[in-house]
Chain A
């Protein structure tokens, strides 16, 4: 059973426009949600996170929104830049029990930003 899902394998956006990447989860036992960015031949790098008690967190061009009732989060990048082209992974951190602190990743979304 996949607890974290990114249903869009890819997204193509024009430079300067907004990129919106989506993520859904099926388990409420998560205390933090994170976004990682991955360039080819490199490991994932941490981008931004949000606590399960918040509904929005902003860091420069990146904003993450959390809708707990819908079990949905999204990453907004405004404005998008060609250097943002990468694979973006959504991850959820276990809140307790045997899953405490464990990251569960989605499948990733390939973002391409065209000049």
Chain B
């Protein structure tokens, strides 16, 4: 069974530029999550999708971050414009169902904002 795929693996941009990350969850997983992991901290949930609908985006900085999950499969997370404090690893995870199923994580995208 293929795992959660993410691309790119690494990205370096300058502040005020925009960037987008892509995630392909495990086939059949209805729930998709985006986490931000800042160096030295644990992952923090940014947004959760159930199929193509948003379940929780309370921690998403909506003035600069946006995410979508068209057709309930792949998802993209965008930052526009990026700030220095956005430097982090962005992890995508998926689970069969929401709330109680095990979350499976992708390898993450390491973003450096200069």
* Chain A min CB distance to B10 (Å): 10
- Asked if B16 lies at the interface with its beta carbon under 8 angstroms from chain A, I say no
Q: How many residues of B contact A (CB 8 A)?
A: 23
- Asked if B98 lies at the interface with its beta carbon under 8 angstroms from chain A, I say yes
What residues of B have a CB within 8 angstroms of the CB of A104 in the complex? 42
Which A residues between 5 and 41 are near B, CB-CB below 8 angstroms? 9, 36, 41
Inter-chain contact B44/A102, CB cutoff 8 Å = no
Main secondary structure of the interface of B (DSSP, over half): loop
Which A residues between 61 and 102 are near B, CB-CB below 8 angstroms? 89, 91, 93, 98, 100-102
Q: How many residues of A contact B (CB 8 A)?
A: 22
Q: With the chains together, A70 CA to B77 CA distance in Å?
A: 39
Given A4-B42, A42-B107, A106-B42, is A98 in contact with B58 using a C-beta cutoff of 8 Å?
Answer: yes
* Chain A min CB distance to B109 (Å): 11
Inter-chain contact A101/B106, CB cutoff 8 Å = no
- Asked if B45 lies at the interface with its beta carbon under 8 angstroms from chain A, I say yes
Given A91-B42, A101-B99, A101-B100, is A43 in contact with B58 using a C-beta cutoff of 8 Å?
Answer: no
Given pairs A43-B105, A98-B58, A108-B41, 9 additional interface contacts (CB within 8 A): A43-B93, A43-B107, A46-B103, A89-B42, A101-B99, A101-B100, A102-B45, A102-B48, A106-B42
Residues of B with Cβ closer than 8 Å to A?
A: 4, 9, 40-45, 48, 56, 58, 91, 93, 98-100, 102-108
Residues of A with Cβ closer than 8 Å to B?
A: 4, 9, 36, 41-46, 89, 91, 93, 98, 100-108
